Amino acid sequence: MGGQQTGRGGSEVFQPLAADDPTTVAGYRLAARLGAGGMGKVYLSYTPGGRPVAIKLIRPEFGEDAEFRRRFAQEVRSAQRVQGLFTAPVIDADPEGAQPWLATAYVPGPSLADAVVAHGALPVETVLLLVAGIAEALHVIHGAGIVHRDLKPSNVLLAADGPRVIDFGIAYAADATSLTGSGVTIGTPSFMAPEQAAGRPVTPATDVFALGQVAAYAATGVPAFGEGTGHGVLYRIVHEEPDLGAVPERLTELVTRCLAKEPEDRPTLSEIIRLCQAANAATVLRRPEDWLPGAVSAEIAARAAAPAPPQTPPPPTVAPSAPSAPPVAYSPTAPAVPSAPSTPPPGYGPPPSTVSGVPVGPVAPSGPVAPAPAPAFAYAPTQGPGAPAYPQQPWPGPTGHQPPQPPRQEKKGGGRGLVIALAAVLAFAVAGGATAYVVLKDKDGPASSSAGGKSGGKGSANTGSSGGTGTGTGTGTGTGTGTGTGSSAPKPSTAPAPQAATYKDIDLTAGYHLTLGDENVRPQAGEDNNYELSYDTGGYLDAESSGGNLVLLDPGQEGSLEACRAETRFTQNIYVNKLSPGRQVCITTGTGHLGLLTVKAFSPEDSPSTYMTLDLTVWRNAAPSASSN
């Protein structure tokens, strides 16, 4: 899913905002208009760090359709998992807002449609590179459970390092509305598949047909089934053969196979890439600086160097008399709590006059308020009044803010009762703690004191191990104190380093699991029974065992025992579409074992089973929790 359409020519890259255009969308200050289509308008904005993003604001008519909103929310969740090299990632979205919207990374390049209109058909070498890149993008999109449904030249952007596929999944949400039969066109007839034209179910093969049409258009400059009225084009797509007379010979087999009428007769994405490589042995994006014709590359350079448009006027600093609630950014994280009202930084953040529809005034909270936890993963740039000039929590971005809470009203006479109750509790706690200390001291001396500190919680254990004498807190009895036994620095561990056991070329099939404690680790049937590592048929690796977790290491990060012990970016599952050959995953089991999984390959599309090939290194009883006992 994505959403950016750009004009042709350097001077038309950024269009000024019109009188009926908004100046902000959920905290994003809009700088210019990039284009418009059947689904809505696309605007340019920026993140706090200055990265440009494209904001697609869905037409209000669609927002009034409950089924569209449901499907749109579903597709947004799926699209946020798509992280391919040849897709424009979805950064943020709000399917529930008054007017739904989504934000994607901005690509400073023309669409394939604009490039062909402005500069003519593309060379064969460029088309092969283009098709291979789109096929790789579709592989990632389909892996997230999405069928594009509207792959066409205007939804393929040309960047300096390869194509970018956008707007995946939006057509599915639009199909749910009644607007498609009342003058609103979703999808382009010239690039539909026969099953779409006939109203039959779509599959990933539907996108393969569209890819063949895109390839023919890029190579010839005209659609494979001609132009004209929508009904006429759709009739030819269903009943007639395409006109491929102008398609270069090296592309004929590729295009012909993709345009097969029956979905099962079309090639898989892996076969398409192999056909591209067979047609040109150099069909790999190794030299991105010259994959496009010079005129198109020059246009991309001009767009990248185009000066940023002037910012929209800052929002008012005085609360309006009838405030309206701005849309809330789509974010699963908890909002932070503002401190004191302040003006948000230029080009970012919602108007300071209101927060969630509540006017901001000089009212201050009656007591200290603990901030909400920093976001775990969602990028949610909605920023309310009182936010600092720069994000204070770690990237990926600031979150929205809760409205200031009104002062609490204390009941008359309640303070005296509260003080008395607190005094009684404190006296009881002191008496109980003193009694426990005397009993333990008289019974066992210093050894019992250490035991009492341990049962009291982590306080005495921690102070003891840090080389000092501290007080531990007893469980249930209040503030019992005990002297830690370790008054000096802890002795270095003399335990030998755990031995690594390595298992090569494991083919882990979806629906199977691995048990790291087995002497001979091999896949076993089952994916849902408190297993240590399973490949769920839903398309993700799962750590189910009690106390087990996974950590996906960063690209280029070298996996090791030390790295897996130190990492704390825990998760319970990792979707396979986030993995690629060479990526590594640390595994901690509830039984105390550590493992390092290295992805080697995935099953080909024509394989009757779905599996991944991996290497596994296991350090038994080496997990931090196990080694500290």
Catalytically annotated residues: 150
Distance CA 405, CA 366 (A): 8
- Give the full edge-to-edge strand order of the sheet including 90-94: 32-36, 40-46, 52-58, 101-105, 90-94
Task: Read off the amino acid at residue 94.
Answer: D
Give the pairing type, strands 573-575 and 540-542: antiparallel
| Closest by CA position to 56, among listed 64, 44, 66, 68 | 44
Say how far apart CA 522 and CA 138 lie, in whole Å. 32
**Residue 137 CB coordination number (10 Å):** 28
**Rounded distance, CA 552 to CA 564, Å?**
10
Cβ contacts of 389 within 8 Å, gap of 6 or more: 342, 345
Q: Which helix (H) or strand (E) holds 101?
A: strand 101-105
Residue 619, C-beta contacts closer than 8 angstroms, at least 6 positions apart: 498, 499, 500, 501, 561, 593, 594, 595
Distance CA 161, CA 580 (A): 19
Asked whether 517 and 533 are in contact (CB, 8 A), the reply is no
Largest CA distance in the chain: 101
Helices (H), 222-341: 230-239, 249-258, 269-279, 294-305
Pairwise CA distance, residues 107 & 35, whole Å = 13
Structure tokens at 106: 């901005």
Contacts of 602 by beta carbon, 8 Å cutoff, 6+ apart = 576, 581, 611, 612, 613
| Count of alpha carbons within 13 angstroms of residue 414, beta-carbon side | 4
Residue 175's nearest CA partner among 149, 194, 152, 156 is 149
Question: 154 and 167 in contact (C-beta within 8 Å)?
Answer: no
DSSP string, 426-464: HHHHHHHHHHHHHHHHHHHTHHHHHHHHHHH-HHHHHHH
Per-residue burial over 81-118, b if 16 or more Cβ lie within 10 Å, else e, is bbebebbbbbbbbbbebebbbbbbbbbbbbbbbbbbee
- In the 8-state DSSP scheme, what is residue 548? -
Residues 6 or more apart from 295 whose CB is under 8 A from it?
118, 119
Among the listed residues 518, 458, 468, the one whose alpha carbon sits nearest the alpha carbon of residue 490: 468
